[in-house]
Amino acid sequence: MHIGVPKEIKVGENRVALTPAGAAELHSAGHDVYVMRGAGVAAGFNDAQYQLAGAQLCDSLVDLYSVAELIIKVKEPQVQEYTLLTARHCLFTYLHLAASRALTDALLASGATCIAYETLTDAQGRLPLLAPMSEIAGRVAVQAGAHHLEAAQGGKGVLLGGIPGVAPANVLILGGGVVGANAAAMAVGLGAQVRVMDKSIARLRQLDDLWRGRVLCEYAVQEKVNEYARAADLIIGSVLNTGASAPRLIDRALIRTMEPGSVLVDVAIDQGGCFESSRATTHQQPTYVEEGVIHYCVANIPSAVGRTATLGLTNATLAYVLRLANEGLACLKADSGFRAGLNICRGQLTHAGVAQSFGVTAVDPLSLL
């Protein structure tokens, strides 16, 4: 199969979908790998490394999309890429369709088969291709929050871990999944007072067993969310509804009651955000202030550590890319978890969560494969 790796053109995106080592694996399996010139530079991989791995270089997005059948990316196609996708393409990337009707409509019109990393599941129902980026996002969220709490960044001048005689910062984490658990680990490591809220008792029990009281684990009822939010120095929003829009957990009226210079980090911004005042930002301009509170809503947080993220992403996706290349879409028929990644096929929405976000009904993917 002809496999294409474009250069990411989303603002501030430093990742690439495949390392040279991954390209070598695909080449050894008999597939033709095409990489756009400069695609890996921001992640620390040069063109010569891809050539040594057996990949061929393309000079432009047009050239790459013209030759490739399977397109593997990091982020969703940008406007400039919409017309390059056709019915002969299979696109494998993070899509986050619920956050953009325009993107969804463009992909439906293209006729391309679109498989989303973030909705593919494994045998245990977990999200194996979302997990490595969620781990990174949770950790970077705390680093970013700590940085923007500094007075020089407009924050309230609070050190996350405090010092002897001075209390540490209060960190509230909404959602105890992979992002939330990694955020908690980072915040605890920096010495903060950490509270995680979730609606899954089983998950709260796991986190409580792990931290033995070092992290306060509490069931998320709105009254308590409101109470703890008012007292928080840093709030990290990390709630996920797979494929669907993120729930709004904190409204503008509540944000108005927080102390000036507090920080909100909305890791769920890719799915629309979980704070009413959230809007997507970039690494170039990561924050804005509303109601006196600093908002950090970068839509591709893991790109801040592009090399680490690229290595982790390739580790997670390579086996699935190989299956697609070796077996074609037949592998989706035989594997319900892999099939859960299918969001669009033959001009139809096939993921229930995405369809629900737009108020339509999903088509059974098996009827289209």
Catalytic residues: 96, 270
The DSSP result for 267-283, as a single string, is: GGGGGT-SBTT---B-S
* Nearest alpha-carbon partner for 74 in 92, 86, 90, 62: 92
Amino acid identity of residue 343, one-letter, is N
Q: What is the rounded distance in angstroms from the CA atom of residue 320 to the CA atom of residue 316? A: 8
Strands of 113-116's sheet in order across = 56-58, 32-36, 2-5, 70-72, 90-93, 113-116, 342-345, 348-349
Long-range contacts of the stretch 160-163 (C-beta < 8 A, 24+): 160/187, 160/190, 160/191, 160/192, 160/233, 160/234, 161/190, 161/191, 161/192, 162/191
Sign of CA dihedral 288, 308, 311, 132: negative
The residue with tokens 């955000």 is: 273
The DSSP result for 77-137, as a single string, is: PPHHHHTT--TT-EEEE---GGG-HHHHHHHHHHT-EEEEGGG---TTS--TTTHHHHHHH
Judge contact between 68 and 91, C-beta under 8 A. no
Q: Which pair of structure tokens corresponds to residue 203?
A: 């998950």
The residue with tokens 């890791």 is: 267
Q: What is the rounded distance in angstroms from the CA atom of residue 330 to the CA atom of residue 285? A: 43
Q: What is the rounded distance in angstroms from the CA atom of residue 212 to the CA atom of residue 198? A: 17
